[in-house]
Amino acid sequence: MSNPWEEISLDDYEKHMSLDSVRQLQALDSLMKEQFAAYPVETAAVMGVAGGNGLEHIDTDKFRIVYGVDINADYLRAVSQRYTQLSEVLECLHINLINETEKLPQAQLLIANLLIEYIGCGAFQRAVLQTAPRYVSCVIQINTDAEQWVSESPYLRAFDRLDEVHHQMEEETLSAAMNDIGYSLILKETYPLPNGKALVRLDFKKNEG
């Protein structure tokens, strides 16, 4: 059976995420600006790149290559069309992060925003080990209502199958999983959202030695 993310239209996803009652697209855009600027790196991998929200913040003087990784080929086509100005730097990779992590290239910075919830900690650990970054910057969603982790919206039906792959993610669980593979937490920031949810950014650095 296909992964639910292969069937969700980019239009439905982006319209839902940008609603005034959700505002996650806007929050993630400003977060990615900070993530791209935060560390002295010249290669990065954005896992779960979707339609490329936030990629306009890639500094082509700083980055030699940025990989945009997603399971949905239509999303990647949209990214390539939207960001032609990044064609010298941006490389889109069609990879299923649950069972194709061996295809991932190495990069100094790994960005994973609202991704780990859909692949689980084990798959994310494998992705990190394969990519071998010095820095990992993640955003997870904290929910006040465990039953309704997808915000109410006119586009809700588009996400019906996500229950099949959704893993509720907690800060402690992710930090422990990263510690297990040699990464230590170096930053935590919380960003409240309009509907009682919050985004939490957790950055990790590879332990020396």
Kindly report, residue by residue over 38-91, the tens digit of the pLDDT: 999 999 999 999 999 999 999 999 999 999 999 999 999 999 999 999 999 999
In whole angstroms, what is the distance from residue 187 CA to residue 185 CA? 6
At residue 78, the pLDDT reads: 95
Distance of CA 83 to the CA centre of its chain: 18
> Which strands sit side by side in the sheet containing 65-70, from one edge to the other?
90-94, 65-70, 43-47, 109-113, 135-142, 198-206, 183-192
pLDDT at 149: 47
Mean pLDDT of the chain: 89
Alpha-carbon span 103 to 157, nearest angstrom: 32
* Integer Cα distance of 181 and 165 in angstroms: 23
Q: pLDDT of 19-44, one tens digit each?
A: 777 778 888 999 999 999 999 999 99
**Strand bridging mode 135-142 / 109-113:** parallel
pLDDT for residue 26: 87
- Residue 94 in contact with residue 71, Cβ under 8 Å? yes
DSSP-based three-state secondary structure for 102: helix
Tell me the sheet residues that pair with 67.
45, 91
Q: What is the pLDDT of residue 158?
A: 64
Task: Pull the structure tokens for residue 189.
Answer: 């920031």
Answer whether residue 154 shows pLDDT above 70: no
Query: Does the structure show a pLDDT above 70 at 148?
Result: no
Greater confidence (17 vs 160) lies with 17
Predicted local confidence at residue 53, as pLDDT: 93
What confidence score (pLDDT) does residue 50 get? 92
